[in-house]
Amino acid sequence: MSVVMRARRLLPLTLAAAAAAACARGVTPAPTPAPSARAAADTAGPIVVVLSFDGFGRTYLERGLPLPNLARLAARGVRARALTPSFPSLTFPNHFTMVTGRVPGHSGLVMNKMWDPALHAMYVSKDSVAPGEARWYQAEPLWATAERQGVRAATFFWPGSAAPTADGVRASTVMQPYDDRISTETKVDSIAAWLRRPAATRPRFVAVYVPSVDQIGHRNGPTAAATDSAVAAADRAVGRLLDSVAASPVAARVNVVVLSDHGMLPLAAEPVVDLSRWADMTHVRAVDNGPYMALWFDGDAARLEATYAALQRGFAASGVPARVWRRRETPVEWALRDQPRAGDLVVLAGPGHFVTARPVPPNVRINPGDHGWDPAAAPGLDGIFLAAGPNVRPLGELPAFRNVHVYPFLARLLGVRPVPGGDGDDAVLRAAHRSGPEAP
């Protein structure tokens, strides 16, 4: 029996009108297969709903907070000991990795904000233009692959979902542009409304992004009472999802996956690594203050080498917890050596510290929580992964695994052939999948 069929209570869709209005405001049509192929694919087969809570760290599940809805989801399916982010442990790169099966260096999204020397253009995740341009994405997300194979998809603010593929394919329902005023409850009720659609317009793959845990963790720090409250609110949203899906006409086909992109670490008492202490940053293109900073030199090799040498000397002499690499010498496991968007030089601060290109003005408040460091050096950055449903084998706790392996699992759950040549390994989570009467 499906996890959602066993839910203990049914949720009245009191916000159905609001959800419908939200959907109507952001829907963008996409190229679709022939109606007969669409009908055959969408009237049967598993449904996969993915709910991502940005910044929901694994450690939040381990400090005794009452989280009954996540507990009931895990009890009926699987929960990973940890979901390890890809480097850098940032929001857009990791969300795109989980729906493409490619690490950030291979997907094209290596930072939330990045410069492309070939395009001579800047990508900014909060911008109203660049995230919707296909030229920035170098891997195909699962919603586009699903649509190509006759499976309707819907996305709600998932990073990367604003853009079509290079040949114009996107999810049938795309909630964009991003609007921070739309509540988590409205997003969950939108899922319920989508699942109540007729088969001809009902999505079978749904990906929804929720930013609140990350936002509050940044502002207050990962151990603050306000962050605990945000985690509790996320748990209530999971309960709302499970109960509303249970009331849907397709409850027996729905698999629910709850995950996150990364965790959150507290900053040190003196966290700032100001590069201008050691190197002239006047003519250096430095992007995105944070644990990880990329530097571009627009072809000026002499300035690049001078800056590299100055930072090397400065870090060593001062004992500052930071390192600098020429991109071609970055760790192989980061997969950044052949990715110009990662910078000509890469600077990484130690856990609890972050990099700036210039002094931080004294009137600027520094948030007490952050992420972006190498997860191999900071296991506190691990995220969460839980799943249950008719096509999820109830194995209980799974070993920790890297989030690049989420994609092949989602594709297998959905019954979609994944794009070949990715970085994820289908074998990692194959045991957690089971075929059912509704599996294609």
275 within 8 A of 311, measured Cβ to Cβ: yes
3-state secondary structure of 156: strand
CA nearest to 81, candidates 101, 68, 62: 62
Q: What angle in degrees, to the nearest 10, is found between the helix axes of 68-75 and 225-246?
A: 50
Residue 61, both tokens: 């599940």
Q: Is the pLDDT reported for residue 331 higher than 50?
A: yes
User: Token pair of 150, please?
Assistant: 């006759």
207-246 residues labelled b (16+ CB within 10 A) or e (exposed): bbbbbbbbbbbbebbbebeebbebbebbbebbbbbbbbbb
Which one-letter DSSP state was computed for residue 170?
-
Q: What contacts 40, CB < 8 A, 6 or more positions away?
A: 150
One-letter amino acid of 239: G
Among residues of the chain, what percentage have pLDDT more than 70? 89
What the block records as the tokens of 263 is 């965790």
Which residues, 6+ apart, have CB-to-CB distance to 251 below 8 Å? 2, 4, 5, 245
pLDDT tens-place string over residues 287-330: 889 999 999 999 999 999 999 999 999 999 999 999 999 999 99
> CATH topology of 3-265+377-432 equal to that of 272-366?
no
Q: Is 299 exposed, middle or buried (0-12, 13-18, 19+ CB in 10 A)?
A: exposed
Task: Name which CATH class applies to 3-265+377-432.
Answer: alpha beta
For the record, the structure tokens of 350 come out as: 């130690």
Confirm if 206 and 154 have CB atoms less than 8 A apart.
Answer: yes
Assess whether pLDDT exceeds 70 at residue 31: no
Which residue in this structure is represented by tokens 């070993």?
399
Q: Which residue, among 82, 173, 139, 140, has the nearest Cα to 402 in the 3D structure?
A: 82
Q: How far apart are CA 35 and CA 20, in angstroms?
A: 24
Rounded Cα–Cα distance for residues 409 and 425 (Å): 9
Distance CA 228, CA 230 (A): 5
Token pair in block for residue 7: 């839910």
- The Cα 186–Cα 189 span in angstroms is 5
Query: Does 375 score more than 70 pLDDT?
Result: yes
Per residue, what are the HEC states of 242-292? HHHHHCCCCHHHEEEEEECCCCCEECCCCCEEEHHHCCCCCCCEEECCECE
- Angstrom CA distances, 227 to 22, 144, 216, stand at 27, 34, 6
Give this prediction's pTM.
0.91
**Mean pLDDT, residues 96-100 taken together:** 98
User: What was the pLDDT predicted at 23?
Assistant: 42
Q: Which helix (H) or strand (E) holds 386?
A: strand 385-388
Closest CA to 137 of 174, 100, 89: 100
Q: Which residue has the higher pLDDT, 28 or 335?
A: 335
Higher pLDDT, residue 176 or 34? 176
Please say if the pLDDT value at position 139 is more than 50. yes
Does the structure show a pLDDT above 80 at 362?
yes
Cis peptide before 46 (omega within 30 of 0): no
At the topology level, CATH places domain 272-366 in: Gyrase A; domain 2 (3.30.1360)
In terms of Cβ atoms closer than 10 Å to its own Cβ (0-12, 13-18, 19+), residue 88 is: buried
Q: Check residue 190 and give its pLDDT.
A: 97
Closest to 357 measured CA to CA, from 311, 319, 300, 318: 311
Mean pLDDT of 98-113: 98
**For the packed helices 91-100 and 406-414, what is the interaxial angle rounded to 10 degrees?**
40
CA dihedral 64, 66, 72, 77 (to 10 degrees): -30
Q: Is residue 55 classed as helix, strand or coil in its secondary structure?
A: coil
Task: Confirm if 201 and 157 have CB atoms less than 8 A apart.
Answer: no
Domain boundaries, the chain: 3-265+377-432, 272-366
Handedness of CA 374, 378, 380, 386 (dihedral sign): positive
H or E element, residue 75: helix 68-75
Give backbone dihedrals phi and psi of 341, rounded to 5 degrees, phi first: -70, -10
Statement: residue 43 has pLDDT above 90:
no
For 203-254, how does the pLDDT look when each residue is reduced to its tens digit (9 = 90+)? 999 999 999 999 999 999 999 999 999 999 999 999 999 999 999 999 999 9
Which amino acid, 194?
A: W
